[in-house]
Amino acid sequence: MGNDGGSIPTRRELVREAARAPSTAQIKETQREQQEHAWTTCPLSHKVLARPIVSDSVGNLYNKDAVLQFLLPGDDGEGISSKSDCEEIICGRIKSLRDVIELHFEVDTERNEHPSDRAHAHRHERREGWICPITAKPLGPAVKSVYLVPCGHVFAEEAIRQLKGDNCLQCNEPYTEDNIISILPTKAEDKERLMARGAKLAEQGLTHSLKKAPGSKKRKKHAADGDEAKKSTPASVNGNGIKNAATASLTARVLSEEKEKNKKRKMMGLSDNLDSLFTKDSKDGKKSGDFMTRGFSIPSSARR
Name the fold adopted by 28-185: Herpes Virus-1 (3.30.40)
pLDDT category of residue 182 using cuts at 50, 70 and 90: very high
**pLDDT of the residue at 222:** 53
Go through 283-295 and write b for each residue having 16 or more CB atoms within 10 A of its CB, e for each that does not: eeeeeeeeeeeee
C-alpha 235/C-alpha 229 separation (Å) is 11
Residue type, position 167, single letter: N
Residue 124 has phi, psi (to 5 degrees) of: -100, 15
C-alpha 103/C-alpha 193 separation (Å) is 20
Q: Is the pTM of this model over 0.85?
A: no
pLDDT tens, residue by residue, 33-67:
999 999 999 999 999 999 999 999 999 999 999 99
Q: Is the pLDDT of residue 227 over 60?
A: no
**Mean pLDDT for the chain?**
78
Q: What percent of the chain has pLDDT over 90?
A: 46
SS3 state of residue 143 = strand
pLDDT category of residue 297 using cuts at 50, 70 and 90: low
All residues at 6 or more sequence positions from 183 whose CB lies less than 8 Å from its CB, including other chains: 55, 59, 61, 139, 145, 146, 147, 154
Q: Is 258 left (phi over 0), alpha (psi -120 to 50) or beta?
A: alpha
**Are residues 63 and 47 in contact, defined by beta-carbon separation less than 8 angstroms?**
yes
All residues at 6 or more sequence positions from 50 whose CB lies less than 8 Å from its CB, including other chains: 63, 127, 128
77: number of Cβ within 10 Å: 20
**Dihedral of CA 199/180/43/76: which sign?**
positive
**Are residues 133 and 169 in contact, defined by beta-carbon separation less than 8 angstroms?**
yes
Strands 154-156 and 145-148: antiparallel
All residues at 6 or more sequence positions from 216 whose CB lies less than 8 Å from its CB, including other chains: 202, 205, 206
Q: What percent of the chain has pLDDT over 70?
A: 63
pLDDT category of residue 179 using cuts at 50, 70 and 90: very high
- What are the residues facing 29 on neighbouring strands? none
**pLDDT of the residue at 236:** 43
Task: Write out the residue limits of the CATH 3.30.40.10 domain(s) in the chain.
Answer: 28-185
pLDDT tens, residue by residue, 115-144:
445 444 444 445 689 999 999 999 999 999
CB-side exposure of 154: number of CA atoms within 13 Å?
Answer: 27
